[in-house]
């Protein structure tokens, strides 16, 4: 059927090409969004892991600092040592979450996947 210079075969071919293009664009967009979501999830895990590593480092540092201080003879028990180590562990976790000494940020910048747009090298010049 032909209506004012438009044939049904040309309309069908145009419709097919538009649908194919739309499917391709949607699939490409979906793949990009999925990759962004996965990278955001991975970045959050990496950031948390870097904070945990900084907390462990701070805990080791705090433990070794406590060893340099003379112990009180007033209360000398294993319970006090256990409580002190638990206090240090929680305190260093909070320190790392609050920014700590900057170790987590440095590790995160070094370990994250580089942005393909910026292409900046992390190596010193």
pLDDT at 120 > cutoff 60: no
Position 111 scores a pLDDT of 86
CA distances from 38 to 29, 61, 108, 110 (A): 14, 35, 17, 19
24-83 pLDDT, tens digit per residue, is 676 777 777 777 777 778 888 889 999 999 999 999 999 999 889 887 777 777 888 888
54 closest CA partner among 42, 62, 64: 62
Quick check: 118 and 57 in contact, CB under 8 A? Answer: no
Domain definitions of the chain by residue range: 7-111
**pTM attached to this predicted model:** 0.61
State the pLDDT at residue 79: 83
Does residue 113 contact residue 38 with C-beta atoms inside 8 Å?
no
């Amino acid at each position: 059927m032909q209506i004012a210079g438009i044939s049904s075969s040309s309309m069908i071919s145009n419709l097919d090409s538009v649908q194919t293009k739309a499917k391709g664009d949607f699939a490409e967009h979906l793949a990009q969004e999925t990759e962004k979501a996965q990278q955001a999830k991975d970045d959050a895990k990496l950031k948390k892991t870097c904070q945990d590593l900084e907390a462990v480092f701070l805990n080791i540092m705090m433990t070794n600092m406590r060893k340099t201080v003379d112990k009180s003879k007033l209360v000398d028990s294993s319970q006090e040592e256990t409580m002190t180590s638990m206090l240090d562990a929680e305190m260093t976790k909070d320190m790392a979450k609050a920014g700590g000494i900057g170790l987590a940020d440095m590790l995160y910048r070094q370990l994250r996947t580089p942005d393909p747009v910026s292409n900046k090298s992390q190596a010193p010049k």
